[in-house]
Structure 1
Amino acid sequence: MLPQLRINAQDILPSKIKTGMSDDELVRMSNAVVIKATKSILARRDPVECTIRLFSATFYLSDDAPLSVGHAVGSAMVTHKIEKAEFRVLTQKKRLECTIGDMLTYGKRFVLFFNKCLNAFAGLTCLCLQNLRFAESDFVSNILVTCKQLNYLGFLNCDTKSWITLQVEHAQLSELSIVNCRFDMVELTWLPKLTCLAFEIWIAFNEPPLSFGYVPLLEVLSLSNVAYNRHKMVKLSTFLGETSVLDLKLGFKCEKIWVQPECLAGRQAHVFHQLRILRLFGIPEGYDLTWTMFFLEAAPSLEELYMTVVKWKWMRR
């Protein structure tokens, strides 16, 4: 009768020290539990009396676990009422451990999983992916086309073999997270329900590889970047275009502030007119606060201001 079902491979991952197992063996063991639990629970649900408000599965992209979970969830979507369904796909190696070869391998595994479990993906409302490199440049677009019910989509350390301009169009998507990903450009072409966006780390670019199209409901925006001396500072009024966010987070992951103070007038000031909450993280110690005063003057409706100051030891570049 439980309305919410969360099955997470990380929660049942045994201790490597206590068991003496290798990483591969531990992953296989936890995945096996996820498969068994998913099949068992979904098979015993009454499709008439017990609506599943949320089904969330977190599993590793290895062996036959993805296909087994995907087929079980896809079948359940046909016979049960599942209001929200989530897949959080993990890789055995963490982001900093992954080589390009690892990412390509993980990308091929995910494409196979995706193509063989289209019924499950078509009903997903949340999808979180990490450490994937796709050989086909249009595959990310295929995800958006197939997963029509998505409310949340998250990419961590993902890219395509050939850098592309990713045009994002989706009728239902309300939250999008793109962190440490490598795309030539991300164009938010048409996202009528998008309210929350996280776009972080574009170290290889002088300008943010992001453009705002039709995002009329965008309220919460998180931007973080590593900026070196050779990089240009960003004019937020130009970058944010026609948006008017309520909650803005800016992260500075190096010794240079990448936001440029501006003299705003007329239409430019509209960008910050509704700003209520401003969060500034990783401000270099001793930095000139002219740009901070710019925000205080540009946002007349500001209610909350958070700031953290750090001492960077990175070398200048």
Structure 2
Amino acid sequence: MVNDSCPKQEDNGDDRLSNLPEHILLTIIDRLDIREAARTSVLSGRWRHLPAMLSRLVINVWDFLDPFNCNNDEIVRGSKAVVKVTKSILGRRDLSRNTIQFLCMTFILREDDPISIGHAVAHAMATQKVEIAEFTIFCDDDDLVIYGRRFMLFFDACPNAFGGLTRLNLENLRFGESDIPNVLNTCKRLNHLRLFYCDSGSCTVLKVEHAQLSELAIVNCSFERVELNSFPKLIRIIFEGWISFEDPLSFGDVLLLDTVSLTNVSLSWHKMIKFGFNQNV
């Protein structure tokens, strides 16, 4: 027998979690990686648009890969997933309500996937304010020449995306002699640059300048010499793993330089490092 005196719970189609205020739901989703955050959109109608309202977007290809089975097919699948999530979330944003405070993209330089990501990011930058934008770009093997050319094709296809970046991290790329200066010339908002295992061929001199860059890291890059001609806002530099017989690094206009970190394995032909600055420093 049913007890009619027992109060019935009203079925409103949503659970209690879904009835929380929007800002609390966004705080919950913000603690998830982007893959799990995207999955919450299927919970109910209330959740459908929440991932696209996040002010911090960290989309990392490693969140989509199986670390115990990271073969070529898995990398292809993960890269496609990154493209799909990026286009979905950036394409569904409410332009009237939300600024993107932090947009961090980590992806692998494969075929046309980066160009799709770049166009989606460029559209977001054109239609709303993006305060901090970061690209971290990996390669899935060590053919520096092929991936250097592939990166420059990506760069040439997406100048607006690179023009809006504030942080850029590059690995395992061989550039043409003028490629890095051209990248810096386009990335006018850049304040952080990290080059890891990058070069421009053997015995090449990298001559660069930038008006906004405040942090620079050059790690295990095979440049004969790096000349920092004009970096008026540079505060910190990390320089590790050079092979040069001569002085590997020179400074021009670096009036605000505060921290210099030099790390290398000492070999018999290396000279003693001596610091010398011009009278304007």
Question: TM-score under structure 1 normalisation?
Answer: 0.69
Which residue of the partner structure matches residue 62 of structure 2?
10
Which residue of the partner structure matches residue 266 of structure 1?
none
Which residue of the partner structure matches residue 105 of structure 1?
146
1:229 aligns with 2:281: no
Q: In the aligned structure 2, how far is the partner of 1:230 from the partner of 1:199?
A: 18
Equivalent residues in 2 for 1:1-317, closer than 5 Å? 1-17=53-69, 23-93=71-141, 98=142, 102-134=143-175, 136-161=176-201, 163-203=203-243, 205-236=244-275, 238=276
Letter in 2 for 1:132: L
Query: C-alpha displacement at 1:165, in angstroms?
Result: 2.5
Q: In the aligned structure 2, how far is the partner of 1:231 from the partner of 1:175?
A: 26
Letter in 1 for 2:63: D
Report the CA distance shift for 1:67/1:177 in structure 2 as closer, same or farther (over 3 A): same
Q: Out of 220-229 and 51-60, give the one that drifted further.
A: 220-229
Gaps of 5+ in 2: 1-52
Give the conservation status (yes or no) of the 8 Å contact 1:16–1:26: no
Give the conservation status (yes or no) of the 8 Å contact 1:194–1:215: yes
Q: In the aligned structure 1, how far is the partner of 2:61 from the partner of 2:93?
A: 21
Q: In the aligned structure 1, how far is the partner of 2:262 from the partner of 2:127?
A: 42
Identity of aligned residues (%): 48
Q: In the aligned structure 2, how far is the partner of 1:170 from the partner of 1:234?
A: 25
SS of alignment partner, residue 132 of structure 1:
strand
Letter in 1 for 2:153: L
Report the CA distance shift for 1:229/1:117 in structure 2 as closer, same or farther (over 3 A): same
Give the conservation status (yes or no) of the 8 Å contact 1:137–1:163: no
Letter in 1 for 2:136: R
Give the conservation status (yes or no) of the 8 Å contact 1:28–1:63: no
Give the conservation status (yes or no) of the 8 Å contact 2:189–2:212: yes
Q: In the aligned structure 1, how far is the partner of 2:253 from the partner of 2:235?
A: 12
Question: TM-score under structure 2 normalisation?
Answer: 0.77
Q: In the aligned structure 1, how far is the partner of 2:208 from the partner of 2:267?
A: 29
Q: Deviations over 1:58-109 (max 9, x none)?
A: 000012210110011011111111111111001112xxxx2xxx11011111
Q: In the aligned structure 2, how far is the partner of 1:234 from the partner of 1:170?
A: 25
SS of alignment partner, residue 228 of structure 1:
coil
Give the conservation status (yes or no) of the 8 Å contact 2:223–2:242: no
Which residue of the partner structure matches residue 314 of structure 1?
none
Give the conservation status (yes or no) of the 8 Å contact 1:189–1:212: yes
Give the conservation status (yes or no) of the 8 Å contact 1:155–1:179: yes
Query: C-alpha displacement at 1:57, in angstroms?
Result: 0.6
Q: Deviations over 1:199-232 (max 9, x none)?
A: 11112x2333110111111112110112123332
Report the CA distance shift for 1:111/1:73 in structure 2 as closer, same or farther (over 3 A): same
Give the conservation status (yes or no) of the 8 Å contact 2:247–2:271: no
Gaps of 5+ in 1: 245-317
Give the conservation status (yes or no) of the 8 Å contact 2:202–2:222: no
Give the conservation status (yes or no) of the 8 Å contact 1:156–1:180: yes
SS of alignment partner, residue 198 of structure 1:
strand
Query: C-alpha displacement at 1:166, in angstroms?
Result: 2.0
Larger Rg over CA atoms: 2
